[in-house]
Every structure is written in C-alpha cells, then in structure tokens.
Structure 1
Amino acid sequence: MFYIKRILGQVRRAIQDYNMIKEGDRIAVGVSGGKDSLTLLVALRRLQEFYPEKFHLEAITITMGIGEFDLTPVRELCKSIGVNYTIEETLIGKIIFEERQEKNPCSLCANMKRGALHNITKALECNKIALAHHRDDVIETLLLSTFYEGRLHTFSPVTYLDRKDIHMIRPLIYTEEKEVKAFIKEYGIKTVKSPCHIDGYTKREDIKNMLKEMTKEKRDIKSNIFGAIKRSGIDGWKE
C-alpha cells in the first residue's frame, strides 16, 4: 500500500497546485498500455473515490496498426476498476514506417496520435485529457529541447487547446519513474509492450542514460533540475 498512498498524495498535490480538475469534468486518460499510463489510470480512479470535486473517467488507447499489440491486460484492468475503455484503431504506424519511411518518426507519430486522441476525446464528450508524463519525462524533455532545439521548453502541467476546447493535464508531474515502477510491481499490474520497433532506441533514451550516469556522481541532480524548472516559470510552471 506504500506506493499507491505516495503516488495518490503526489497526484492530488499536482492537481491542486495547478487546478487540473474541477467539478463535473469528464476526463479521458490516454492509455498506451505501459507502466506510466496504467499507473495514472489507477491513481485517478482511486482519487475519484474521495476527491471533493466529482469527475468522470474514460480510458482511451490509440493503436498504431503495426506489430503485436494484445490489449487484453488493459481491458481486464479497466473492467476491474470500473472504467469504460475505448480502443481507437489507426494506421499511423503503417503511414510513418511503410509509406513515408520516416527516419526520425517520433515527432510526427506523436502529433498524429495526439490528433486521434483529441478526436475520440471530443466524441466521448470529455473536456480534459490526462497524460501520464512523470517527473523524469519533464526533466528529459527540457534537456532534449535544450540540446537539440536550442530552447528552454518542457511539458506544461496544464495546456489549453483552443481549437478543440480541450485541456490537457499531467497529474504525474511530481512522481518519479522509479516510484511508478515500484507501484506496478507492488500491485502486479500487467503492462503491454509498445509495438513500435524503435521503442527504447531514441534520443530520449540517450538523455535518460546520460542522467543515470550523472546521478551516480551527484544523487540530487534531477531534483535540482526539476527545482530549476519550477522556479523558472517556463511553460506554465510555478514554484
């Protein structure tokens, strides 16, 4: 029970710090089948039981149309916690890898998946999308943008998409990846491996490995970077 209590505390604090959830919200949780999105889904479902503002949850998976992608564990989890689950079938993977043969496909893939997620979110009459970016993702994205784009940028805790009239929220921003891994192990939650054949071979993975090596010499380096992000006020962050 340790990790669910810890993560629930972090999620609630993030939601309150950035006013992520209001009474009557209908929230679509983007579920990839991986550890992060399943942790977020379970945490929000538990939070739903006692949070003062009442909200509705929907779980959504966007498929890529490539590889083996058995979503049975996700279906079973959603059924067990009482959350409606929608699978949106797409051919995004075939378009990117077979038709366009993109050499650097991550950005285009993310944009196409976001577009599909926005559309099904509106179809389900949801006004918010919850994404499972955790604290390590926030830090890694800042470094990726700095090193490869020459700008200071990372995920915003809350983003408003005016063209779709949808708010994107990230309730796991205070949660470390190691805590997510521990929670998944503690509860025995089955995850689904991404069918993308470059998963684990990206620039983000390089940044993750670099941080891992740097942390061996200075244990609080990620805490320092995260603190700098909050103090800087960039991209909607605040102390």
Structure 2
Amino acid sequence: MSKRLEKKIFRNIRDANLKYRLLENGDRVAIGMSGGKDSLTLLYFLLLLYRYTPLDFSVFPVYLDLGWENDIEVMLAFCEELGTPLTIEKTNIGQIVFDNRQEKNPCSLCANLRRGALNRVAKGLNCNKVALGHHLDDVVNTMFLSMLFEGRFKVFKPSTYLDRMDITIIRPLVYVEEADIIRFIEAKGLALAPNRCPADGVGKRAEVEELLNLIESHFPGARKKFLASIENIDRESFWT
C-alpha cells in the first residue's frame, strides 16, 4: 500500500510540475515547513523528484517560529534524516496578531505576515522560489471561501511570480488530495509537530471544509471535478 501510494503522489506532483513548470534546473527552493502533514509530505516528495528525474535543483526547508513554543524536534529529526538542515526563523507574528492587534479574524493577517517573513528568509538563502504545501483540497476550499464570503472567484495558482520580491511561489501538491497525504503520513509512521495556534481548526475555512466533505460523501470525486473545472475555465466565454 505504501509503495502504491508513494507512486500515486509522485505522479501527481510530477504531472503538476510538467504542466506548470514549477521546478527547473538551477532553482533554489525554500520550502515552508510547519511540522504538519502537508509540509512534511512536500519536502519528502520534492527530494524524490530530485532523485528520480533529470531536474537539478536545491531545497531549503524553512520554519517560522511564530512564538507558540511548538515542539519541532520531530521535524528537525525528519529534515536531518533527509539530509536537508532546517532553517529556523524566530518572529513575533503571534504577538502582533493576537496581542497587539487582537484580530477577530486573525488567519488572514497571520497568513500575510508569514508569507512576507518566509519570502524574506528565502531571499536571504538566495532562493528564487518558495514552495508551499497547499494541496488539491486547499485549492477547492479557497475557491468556495471566496465565492461564499467575498462574492468573487479566487483560487490558489500553482505558480505565482512576485515582481516586488523577484521570487516565485509554487504549489507542487496542487494535484494531491488531502486524504492521500493523511494515508501517506500514517503509512510512514511520521509524527507531526503539534500546532498551538489559538485559531487552529476554527473559523470559516473549517466550516467550508466540513461542507465540502459533505458534498464529497454524496458525490465521490467532487473535489477533483471542481479542480478540473477551475483549470478548464475559458474566461472569454465565462458568461455564455
């Protein structure tokens, strides 16, 4: 089961890379690490992509310490086992979001601050790309969030160039389902770093995820169809 699952996830990442040219020879890629299932899976499979394809690139795992005193020993050991030392950047983002600003909806501000900090660390490592662990479910969840609460159609792009930073954000897991990531982590027996963020698992994103789980239970494969619909949009005939 583990080998079949690895091959499936590897194919998903390879196909996304071939379609969107996420990784190219000479890239230096900072990987945003949280100690959660998505970032551990991302690091593992990018190294497999390096090993089993002609692509020649370098990866640099980066962990932003937000001030929650999370136990990251497992993540440190995982990175060391893979031969990719973890860069740790201490920040005061948690204090800014929850103490100074006391945000009612803290996730958006926190995400913006984390993106900025991660991009700055990546530039300090001379990286030209930053890889994030957003998977297929995240893409679809974000689309529904934007439609339901913002009245617009907005999704994560597999690749986004930030001209102000001169850095490209890539999402190699865009074709990988969250269920497969969970199964992979369980099959590997990988322990996850606990997240002590006060807002973890609450808010509108959790509500939308519950809604999409309900849709998926009635219409298996619905998330894949939603993603295919996103990719197949012909914007010129969108209203026809």
What TM-score comes out, normalization by structure 2 length?
Answer: 0.94
Deviation at 1:233, TM superposition (A): 5.7
Percent identity among equivalent residues? 42
Tell me how large the CA RMSD over aligned residues is.
Answer: 1.1
- Per-residue Cα deviation, 1:102-150 (whole angstroms, up to 9, x for no partner): 1011110000000100100000011000111000000000000001111
Corresponding residue for 1:17?
19
Q: CA deviation at 1:215?
A: 2.0
Structure 2 stretches of 5 or more lacking a match? 236-240
User: 2:167 maps to what in 1?
Assistant: 166
Q: Distance in 2 between matches of 1:223 and 1:4?
A: 19
Q: Which moved more, 1:194-203 or 1:110-119?
A: 194-203
Gaps of 5+ in 1: 235-239
CA distance in 1, matches of 2:217, 2:18: 33
Partner of 2:228: 227
Which position in structure 2 is the counterpart of 1:62? 64
Distance 1:220 1:91 in 2: 41
Q: AA paired with 1:4? A: E
- The residue number in structure 2 matching 1:50 is 52
Hey, what's the Cα distance between the residues in 2 that align with 1:186 and 1:233?
40
Alignment of 1:101-120 (within 5 A): 101-120=102-121
Secondary structure of 1:194's aligned partner: coil
Q: What letter matches 2:60 in structure 1? A: E
Letter in 2 for 1:185: E
Per the TM alignment, residue 46 of structure 1 is displaced from its structure 2 partner at its CA by 1.4
Contact persistence 1:57–1:84 (CA under 8 A):
no
Code of the residue aligned with 1:37 in structure 2: it is: S
Q: Do the aligned partners of 1:34 and 1:192 also contact (CA within 8 Å) in 2?
A: yes
- Equivalents in 2 of 1:233, 1:223: separation in Å? 18
Is the Cα–Cα contact under 8 Å of residues 50 and 57 in structure 2 kept in the other structure? yes
Q: Deviations over 1:53-102 (max 9, x none)?
A: 20001000111112x30110111001101112101111101111011111
With structure 1 as the length reference, what TM-score do the two structures score?
0.95
Hey, what does 1:139 align to over in structure 2?
Answer: 140
Deviating runs (4+, > 3 A) in structure 1?
A: none
Task: Note if contact 2:76-2:86 (Cα within 8 Å) is conserved in structure 1.
Answer: yes
1:88 aligns with 2:92: no
Tell me how far apart the structure 2 counterparts of residues 33 and 233 of structure 1 sit (CA, whole Å): 38
Aligned: 1:189 with 2:190: yes
Number of the residue aligned with 1:237: none
Distance, in Å, in 1 between the alignment partners of 2:234 and 2:142 is 15
